[in-house]
A and B are shown apart, each in its own frame.
Chain A
Amino acid sequence: MKHAKALALAAAMGFTGMAAQAETLTVGMMLTLSGPPAALGQHIRDGFLLALEEKGGALGGMDVELIVVDDELQPDLAVTRARALLERDGADIVIGTVFSNVMMAVFRPVIEAGVVLVSPNAGPAPLAGRGCHANYFNTAWQNDNNHEVLGQHATDEGYERLVLIAPNYQAGRDAMEGVKRFYRGEVVDEIFTQLGQLDFSAELARVASLRPDAVYAFMPGGMGVNLVRQFAQAGLTMPFLSAFTVDETTLPATQADAVGMFAGAQWARNLDNETNAAFVPAFEAKFGYAPSLYASQGYDTALILDAALAVAGTAEAEALSAALKAVEMETTRGAFRFGPNNFPVQDYFLVQAVERDGRFVTEAVATVFENHSDAYAADCRM
């Protein structure tokens, strides 16, 4: 479990006839695959594996040896394992991580090794702004982006009174800042809950007593499942806006209780483009569960790397970074390119939980931002 290594992936997955290509690329992938948030890492990994399989086990024409390690959401452990990836396994590229605190820990060691670091999820503000680096790329979003979607949506809908709920830690505070950046109405209350809290009855009673036009919640993982179900059970009817709370990792548990709730995302299964139309059924056929935005990020990371490696012809940092910077392509979320800080410039959508063929999924209902960057890009000097 600790070293969930997919060593010699090409062999393990039964690929043959790739002998013509001499060069082998070692890709180190560091994700959180244990503990409560393991589902996120699992979705990212599976998305990446699917794309890699479709590319015949190669990226940019180079055979890939993929080594997946679990950071266990422990920054100190992550640093040790990142060093092992670089020094023992000789990783040419590192993909990771799921969480921002882990990212901040492994960023230095990986960048100092002169290797390109691609984040399929974590997009902390420091790395998007002042601390940006030519060899660090993010293929998902800046952490604030999906929160901003709901702030803008609440403004568009003309909601005058909004209550915000988030766990009492850095990401929770960042989430609220993200919403407020684009929300023009009044924030009636900011409710901070304990990290890992199970029972939200007290908070929900408070929300009801404040009578807001809508509620905004950032409540990742099992906490979100509890909040959504208890929200529905309490019979609250105001619009429920969220990010990283209602998605395909939590919908199997919340089921009908979440139907109708909104979230912000850069991807949805019903986005109308060819890449996405092929991705969703292929993912479901291979893994037997509905892909989430995280799965799409894993998949897109492989597509983007594939395109850049094909141009660069090498994983050497300078050439690969230049190629990545120039990427302009269609991914599962539609048009994708990197901004000046190596974070995505892309569209963001309002998605809503719905039931489709007995399965609970999210579907895009509106485009909220077009070609949206982030609030920190201006601070980035490379």
Chain B
Amino acid sequence: MSATLLAVQALNGLQLGLVLFLIAAGLTLVFGVMDFINLAHGVQYMVGAYLAVVFYGLTAHFGLALLLALVAALVFGLAMEALVYRHLYGRSHLDQVLATFGIILILTEGAKAVFGPAPLSLPRPEALSGAIPLMDGFGYPVWRLVIIGAGLGVAALLYGLVQHTRMGMQVRAGATDAEMIGALGVDIRRLFMGVFGFGAMLAGFAGVMAAPVFAVEPTMGDGLLIMAFVVIVIGGIGSIRGAFLAAVIVGLVDTLGRSFSTDVARMFLAPAAANDVGPAVASMLVYVLMAGVLFWRPQGLFPARAG
């Protein structure tokens, strides 16, 4: 276990965390501001990736495909809001879970019907397809650094928007008491639509950025959605800063856990038992972390009120 390997794994954890952040940011805003549980948020990520594949097929240019996919993801999010989600705001969480779970099933099967069940792929832009050699015979793909950069950029942008604009102020106020800001004359419906569309676009953006690394398939968002929920629970619901910090923590814990849990287990156990215990513990780590947070700090590590 060399220092280089540790550094590479930390970089990997950061990158996973930032992809999680792009998804969790929209999720935490929608949940925090609108008190709306959107299970279908992971599907927006899948839609973003498929849109990028389609637009790349049409334009053969990654930048153009990214731009078109972002616009389309935004339009798609707004359309979903107007058609379905708007009618669920006042309803109980159970109704919302049921309805958005239905959306997952419909869109997942829809994607399968249109594009087929086999995974698709999106090539990396030629200029960013190299790898930076870190260890002998192993390079860190430039595209992953781009993902890290994009995640940090979005985090900075969101911080600016939420902390220093009028709309951001309304969003923060909405996270505290949505009815009150409605009473103060803010058009809540427009605010909700804006937040929702923006969240959908962020998830779509994550899908586009991840598509050159991960397989584009109908269920690609399911696993990440669960991780995103873990992130917003740990970070504190409605808090962008919490989502960012928690995403990085979850990314690091998950990646370092996967990398080194078997080694750690081998210090105490026979190799065969360590091979059984290591991966099992690694897959539980983030959930154990979440359970701990829920027990000692149920409002999350960085709750919305503070940030």
Contact = CB atoms under 8 A, between A and B. Distances in A.
Interface of A: 1, 34-39, 42, 168, 190-194, 196, 198-199, 201-206, 208-209, 211, 221-223, 225-226, 229-230, 233-238, 249-250, 252-255
Interface of B: 2, 4-5, 8-9, 12-13, 15-16, 109, 112, 116-121, 123-124, 129, 131, 133, 135-141, 143-144, 213-220, 223-224, 255-256, 258-259, 262, 275, 278-280, 282-283
Contacts of A206: 5, 259
B258 A225 contact: no
A237 B137 CA distance: 7
B283 A202 contact: no
Contacts of A225: 119, 121, 215, 217
A205 B135 contact: yes
B104 to A, nearest CB: 13
Contacts of A204: 138
Contacts of A209: 2, 4-5, 135, 138
Contacts of B279: 168, 192-194
Contact of A211 (B120, B137, B259): B137
A255 B137 CA distance: 22
> Which of B15, B121, B136, B262 has the most A CB atoms < 10 Å from its CB?
B121
Contacts of B259: 202-203, 205-206
A209 B256 CA distance: 15
Given A38-B112, A199-B214, 6 more contacts: A37-B117, A203-B258, A229-B213, A230-B213, A235-B138, A238-B137
Contacts of B215: 198, 222-223, 225-226, 229, 253
A202 to B, nearest CB: 4
A168 B284 CA distance: 13
Contacts of B8: 205
A199, A221, A249, A252, most chain B CB atoms within 10 A:
A199
Contact of B141 (A198, A233, A250): A233
Contacts of B256: 202
15 contacts: A199-B255, A201-B16, A202-B12, A205-B135, A208-B135, A208-B138, A229-B215, A233-B141, A233-B213, A234-B139, A252-B118, A252-B119, A252-B120, A253-B120, A253-B216
A250 B214 contact: no
A205 B12 contact: yes
A236 B138 contact: yes
Contacts of B255: 199, 201-202
Contacts of B283: 168, 194
A234 B141 contact: yes
B223 A226 contact: no
Contacts of A253: 118-121, 215-216
Given A192-B279, A193-B258, A222-B119, A34 B112 contact: yes
